[in-house]
Amino acid sequence: MAADGADAAFDDEVEPTVTISEYMDGIEAEELEADLVLGGDDGDECTYGAGYLKRQAVFSCLTCVPDGAAGVCTACCLACHDGHEVVELWTKRNFRCDCGNSKFGGHLCKLNPEKDPENSANSYNQNFKGAYCTCSRPYPDPEAKEQVEMIQCCICEDWFHEDHIGLDSAEKIPCDEEGEALYEDFICHKCSPVCSFLKLYPDTIWASSKQTSASEAVTADSNGMEGGYSGHANTEKNENGARVDHQSAENTSVENNCTKDIAASEKSNLGDNSAGNCKLGLDINTKSDDSEKIMPFFLSKGWRETLCRCGACTNFYEQRGIAHLTDKEDSIEEYEKMAKEKRQKKLEQQEGAEANFINSLNHVQKIEILSGISDMKNEFQSFLESRDPSKPVTSDDVQSIFKNLAKKKQRLS
Ligand SMILES: [Zn+2]
Ligand SMILES: [Zn+2]
Ligand SMILES: [Zn+2]
Ligand SMILES: [Zn+2]
Ligand SMILES: [Zn+2]
Ligand SMILES: [Zn+2]
């Protein structure tokens, strides 16, 4: 689960048994992971002033608000709730920092104490109490033998254990041989009825274990999805992102098979553009077949771009509270892209600052720094030559390198 990333943001414990290059790679990866979760936010300013952010890292403090009906930003988590029992929630959409407001019983925010009593547009699911999934367990779960990977629903934003999302044993989560996810978004079985209209779209919208991309399929055809869809051909194989269980198909009544055929013929009408400029070419309010088993959805890469943005469809999304699906900045992919860009800028600024620092020194200072670096190199070299290469470098080793350097410096001065 991605909460690991949030751990990495605040966890500076280092395993003593790693090689130096492993250690440096590890730091680099942890920093990147932390930056991705925190969205490249430095965490030194409360985000309250920026209003409801499209997406940000959110934390819940159970010391201050035991019922979990509040959330705070990264900066507040660090500055105002240090040492408290904090739940890391990874990212949430459309959230405004609650730190120190009426829910905090007099515990003031150190960064921005001027807040409205409540943020009425915030929503708080069970995660804010430290509970996840249909089983409402904590993460990590102290009673579990091993921590099972969890996946986040892009509608309710709750996290789910892979074996608690209502899949039969024969149905698989789309992933490649290495276990890497082949889907961009997951919609849990509780939220999938709200999104049943997705079944009106071509099958390229569903992730399968073979890699498919909805956006590629659409851009390959300049008329959007028209012509890219061959009616009945694929409906049997993949109705909702998972294989249709043939045994249960045999057991379904004739009646059910009829409704299934109607749904299929509705889908095949996608091509004729009878409803104006709507991509679907039919009323999105068309009821899809509710008699089908409720399943979680796995959506393919770029699926959000294929969603129709016509007036009727947009209204429909708003009524169902899922308008965020057509907002590019809502997606985790976009959030992480922006985080990477911010990180790149930060690294460039750091490099610039180092170059400026060196340039600002006079000649003698430069020589001193350079000879210091060369002393460091020499000390390190002799350390490497003297040690047993099969043994890992410990923090004691590193400390002794610096002690030797300090001794040399004292002898010289
Ligand atoms: Zn805050
Ligand atoms: Zn607190
Ligand atoms: Zn605060
Ligand atoms: Zn569970
Ligand atoms: Zn959900
Ligand atoms: Zn439309």
Considering 261, 296, 326, which residue would you say is the last residue of a domain? 326
Cα-to-centroid distance, 127 and ligand 2 (Å): 16
- Ligand nearest 277 Cα, by number? 6
Cα-to-centroid distance, 115 and ligand 1 (Å): 10
Cα-to-centroid distance, 164 and ligand 4 (Å): 5
Q: Does any domain span residue 140?
A: no
317 shares a domain with 358: no
- Ligand nearest 98 Cα, by number? 1
The fraction of the chain above a pLDDT of 70, given in percent, is 75
Q: Is the pLDDT of residue 397 over 60?
A: yes
Cα-to-centroid distance, 149 and ligand 3 (Å): 31
Considering 71, 99, 129, which residue would you say is the last residue of a domain? 129
200 shares a domain with 319: yes
Q: Does any domain span residue 142?
A: no
| Cβ–Cβ < 8 Å for 203, 231 | no
Cα-to-centroid distance, 135 and ligand 4 (Å): 4
Please report the pLDDT score of residue 159 as a whole number.
95
Q: Does any domain span residue 143?
A: no
100 shares a domain with 35: yes
154 shares a domain with 299: yes
Q: Does any domain span residue 62?
A: yes
Find the range with the poorest average confidence among 32-46, 106-120, 214-228. 214-228
- Ligand nearest 53 Cα, by number? 1
Please report the pLDDT score of residue 12 as a whole number.
53
74 shares a domain with 173: no
388 shares a domain with 282: no
| Cβ–Cβ < 8 Å for 405, 379 | yes
Please report the pLDDT score of residue 326 as a whole number.
95
The residues placing their C-beta within 5 Å of ligand 3, an ion, are 76, 80, 99, 109, 111
Find the range with the poorest average confidence among 72-76, 221-225, 226-230, 275-279. 226-230
Between CA 176 and CA 311 the distance in angstroms is 38
Q: Which of 27-41, 143-157, 246-260 has the highest mean pLDDT?
A: 143-157
The residues placing their C-beta within 5 Å of ligand 6, an ion, are 278, 308, 310, 313
Q: Is the pLDDT of residue 275 over 70?
A: no
Question: Kind and range of the H or E element at 90?
Answer: strand 86-95
Q: Which of 200-209, 338-347, 354-363, 370-379 has the highest mean pLDDT?
A: 200-209
Query: What range does the domain containing 243 cover?
Result: 150-326
Between CA 175 and CA 301 the distance in angstroms is 13
Residues 6+ apart with CB under 8 A from 60: 68, 70, 71, 72, 86, 87, 89, 127, 128, 129, 130
Residues 6+ apart with CB under 8 A from 102: 117, 118
pLDDT averaged over every residue in the chain: 78
Q: Does any domain span residue 105?
A: yes
Q: Is the pLDDT of residue 151 over 90?
A: yes
90 shares a domain with 55: yes
Cα-to-centroid distance, 78 and ligand 4 (Å): 29
Cα-to-centroid distance, 327 and ligand 6 (Å): 15
Confidence of residue 318 (pLDDT cuts 50, 70, 90): very high
Higher pLDDT, 395 or 95: 95
314 shares a domain with 342: no
Considering 278, 307, 326, which residue would you say is the last residue of a domain? 326
Classify 281 in phi/psi space as left (phi over 0), alpha (psi -120 to 50) or beta: left
162 shares a domain with 299: yes
102 shares a domain with 218: no
Cα-to-centroid distance, 151 and ligand 2 (Å): 27
Q: Does any domain span residue 262?
A: yes
Residue burial 156-171, b: 16+ Cβ < 10 Å; e: rest? bbbbbbeebbbeeeeb
Q: Does any domain span residue 134?
A: no
> Which residue has 């091993």 as its token pair?
146
pLDDT digits (tens, 9 = 90+) for 152-161: 999 999 999 9
Domain count, the chain: 3
pLDDT digits (tens, 9 = 90+) for 285-313: 876 666 677 889 999 999 999 999 999 99
- Ligand nearest 103 Cα, by number? 2
322 shares a domain with 348: no
Q: Does any domain span residue 30?
A: yes
254 shares a domain with 169: yes
